[in-house]
Structure 1
C-alpha cells in the first residue's frame, strides 16, 4: 500500500484536550510523523478517567511519539529549538499567554526552520476577545448552538466536543493549503484559527435560516433548524424497545413512510404545512405505527420503500454494526493491557498504515529516541533526564486506578 500523502513530514504538536491533538491525529492518519511534546504533567486527557487516559487521548494520540520536556527550563527550550529546526509543521492550542511565556511564535519557528508551517488554534481570532480563553462549550454558547439545546429548560452543551473537532479539521485544511502554496508565502504559513470563528462558520446555516424566517414572519424568530419542527422527523420507539430515527423532510418522504407503515393516505395531511397544523395528530400516528412493529420488521419495510432511517445505537454497539465492520473501518490495538478499536479517517486513498496503527504513547515514551535523533549523545541525554529538562516513561506505571474488590 502506498504511504500516506504526508509521508516524510514531521509535525510538532503542543496540544492538550481536543482541538490541536485532533488535528495532529488527522495529519498522522495522512502519514505524517507526529511528535507530541508534553510537560511533565502530561496532556490533560491523560488523567481524566480513574486517574488515567481518557477516550480522547487513546483515540486521537495513537501512532504519535511522546517527548516529555520541561519547556520552562533553558535546556528544555534548547531541545524545543532543535525539534523545530527538524520539523515541517508546528501545531498547538496553547492560550495566547502560555504561548508567549514559552516563546512559541511563528517568528521563532520560521527563523529556526524557514518554510515551516505554524498553526495556532486559539479561543478567539482577531477582535476584542482575542486574548481570552475559550473551550468547546463556550463556542457553543456564543454561536447560538446552546440556546436551542436545552435539558429541562436549561441551555446545555451538546455532549461531544464537535466544535473542537471542527477547529482541528479546519486547521488541517489550512495546513494542507500552506503546504501547497509557494514557499515564500509566509501569510499562508502563519495560521491562527479561532474556536469561536469556527463555531460561527459551522452555525452559518442556522444563523441565516433564523434571519430568513424572521423576515418572512415579520417578527423575531429563534428556531434555528427547520427539521426539528417537522412532524414525523425524529426518534420513535418500536414494540421491542429499540429506537428508530426517521427522516421526514419532504411530502414524498411522508408518502413513502405511510405506505411502508400501512397508514392510509389522507389528503388533509398531504403537504408539510397541513401536517404542521395537525402536529399532535401526526406525531401520535407515527408513534402508534412504529410502536406496533418490531424494529427489524419495520426497518425491512422502510428500506424497501426508500425511507431514510437507522437505529439509534448506544456507543457500545456502534462498531458492531455491519456497515462499521464490512469492510472494517477502525483499527484495533492493545494499550496498557486493554483492547481498543478506534475508527479511522475515512479517506483510505490518502491515509497511511504502520505508525497510525500503533497504540498511543506513554508519557515520554520516545523522549530518548527523539533526543538522539536531533543530535544529543547518550551522556547528554542522561544529563537532561537527570536535570529534569526531559523525562522518559515508566513502562511499569499502572495508568488507571482499578475499582476496589467487593467485600466477600
Structure 2
C-alpha cells in the first residue's frame, strides 16, 4: 500500500454490492483507505458478472463495470449465515474504522452482526448503511432502484419538456448523488467527530433523501411562494430562452447565458441586439423561434469558435466518445489507465474527480481484486493462525479465490 494519502490508516469493510456503495468506497480507496470487499461465498458482488469483459483479465475480476468501481480494494469471501463466518466478520470489525453496507434495513441485525453487535466489539466503528428509503419511515422495507427514488421525491417529474414524458438522466442521480456521495460525506463527518469523542456512530443514508436534497433551490421557491412547479416550468430546466440546449447544423449546443452580460454578449455576437430584451422569454415565443433559427445556421465547431470570441456560456453537446477524448478531460486527468493482471493492455477508467494539491488521490495503487483473492491474507491480518484458516476454508465459512463466475448479472 502506498503512503502519504489522506485516508492512509483508515480501514473500511465494504459489504455493499453494485453502484452506490461501490462508488462510495471507491472514493475512499482512491484516497488511501484500505477497503476490504466482504463478499459472499457464492457469486460475490453481482457487478462482477456484468458485460463487457476486459480482454485477458482474470476471470473473477474481468467485468469492465466491476473494475470501474473496485480498483484499490481487496476481497474476502465470508458466509455470514454461519457462526464461524459471523465470527470472522466480528474479528475483522475489531480493527476496522468503517463498515459500509447496502442491504435493506435489519438484514445484518437478523444475521447477528448488525450495528449494535458490531459496536460492542468496536465502539469506535463508523457504521454506514445505504438504503433506498432509510432505516425508518413507511418505505423502509421496499425495494427500489434509482428511477423509483427520483420519481418519489419529485425530481423525475420535473425533468423534461412541458408537454413530454418525464426524462430519465443518463447518470444515476439517486444512486451516486443521493447515495454514494452522501455516504462518503457522512462517513468522513463521523470519522472527524470520532477524532474528538473516540466513539463511532451510525450513518443512515437514504438515496431518496439524498436525491430530494438536490431540489434545494426548487423546494425553497415552492415553500416561499406556494406555487407548485410543473415539468417545463423551471427556469433552469428549459423555461428560459437564454438557458437551453439548441440544435445546430450538425448536432446540439448548450446556451447557459443566465446572467444578462452573457446573454447580451451572445446577442451582440450574432448581430441581434434586438433580442437582448427577450432574455427570459419562454419556449414557443417569437424570440425562441428566432434563436433556434440562428443556432441552426452554424455547426458545433463554428459555435465553439464563437464561444472563444464571445464570453457567453456556450458549449457543444458532446457524445461520450468525444467527451472522453476531449482536451478538457485529458488536462484534468479524468481518464486513467489501470494495470490489471492478465489484461492484454492497460484498462482505461475514469479518474479521481477531487483534486488535492498536496496529497492527491491515486487510482492505480491496486488492481481490481479477484473474488476472494485476499481471503487468506486478510484472515492472517485479523490474527487467525494457519490451522484456523484451514478449518474456516474447509467448513465453507470462508472461501478463497473463485475459479470463475458463471451466469449473467442481468440474466
TM-score range, shorter-chain basis? 0.7 to 0.9
Q: Partner residue of 2:147?
A: 137
For 2:372, the equivalent position in structure 1 comes to: 364
Q: Please, which of 36, 46, 67 is the counterpart of residue 58 of structure 1?
A: 67
Question: 1:179-224 deviations in whole A, cap 9, x for unaligned?
Answer: 2225685886222122222122222222233445554xxxx44246
Runs (4+) off by over 6 Å: 398-401
**Separation in structure 1 between the aligned mates of residue 106 and residue 140 of structure 2, nearest angstrom:** 11
SS at match of 1:71: coil
Once the two structures are superposed, residues 243-272 of structure 1 have per-residue CA deviations (whole angstroms, 9 ceiling, x without a partner) of 221113233322211222x232116x5143
Instruction: Give 3-state SS (helix, strand or coil) of 1:270's partner.
Output: helix
Count residues with an aligned counterpart.
391
Q: Report the CA distance between 1:55 and its aligned residue.
A: 5.0
Match of 1:237 among 227, 243, 247: 247
Q: Give the match for residue 279 of structure 2.
A: 272
Matching residue of 1:337: 343
For 2:379 and 2:7, how far apart are their aligned partners in 1? 23
* 1:103 aligned onto 2:112: yes
What does residue 285 of structure 1 align with? Answer: 290
Alignment partner, residue 36 of structure 1 = 37
Matches within 5 A, 1:116-265: 116-125=125-134, 126-149=136-159, 153-166=164-177, 167-182=179-194, 185=197, 189-212=201-224, 214-215=226-227, 220-223=228-231, 225-227=234-236, 228-239=238-249, 241-260=250-269, 262-265=270-273
Ranges in structure 2 where 5+ consecutive residues have no aligned partner: 54-60
- Structure 1 distance, partners of 2:406, 2:360, is 29
- Structure 1 segments unaligned to the other structure (5+ residues): 402-408
Q: Which of 62, 86, 89 is residue 98 of structure 2 equivalent to?
A: 89
Structure 1 CA distance for aligned equivalents of residues 245 and 305 of structure 2: 17
- TM-score, with length taken from structure 2: 0.85
Could you tell which deviates more after superposition, 368-377 or 5-14? 368-377
Alpha-carbon spacing, 1:351–1:101, altered in 2? closer, same or farther (3 Å): farther
Q: Kindly state the Cα deviation for residue 356 of structure 1 after the two structures are TM-superposed.
A: 4.7
* Structure-1 separation of matches of 2:167 and 2:247: 24
Q: Distance in 1 between matches of 2:322 and 2:386?
A: 48
Instruction: Rate the CA distance shift 1:170–1:89 in 2: closer, same or farther, 3 A.
Output: same
Equivalent position of 1:3 in the other structure: 4
Q: Does 1:323 align with 2:328?
A: yes
Q: Name the SS for the 2:273 alignment partner.
A: coil
Bigger drift between 139-148 and 377-386 goes to 377-386
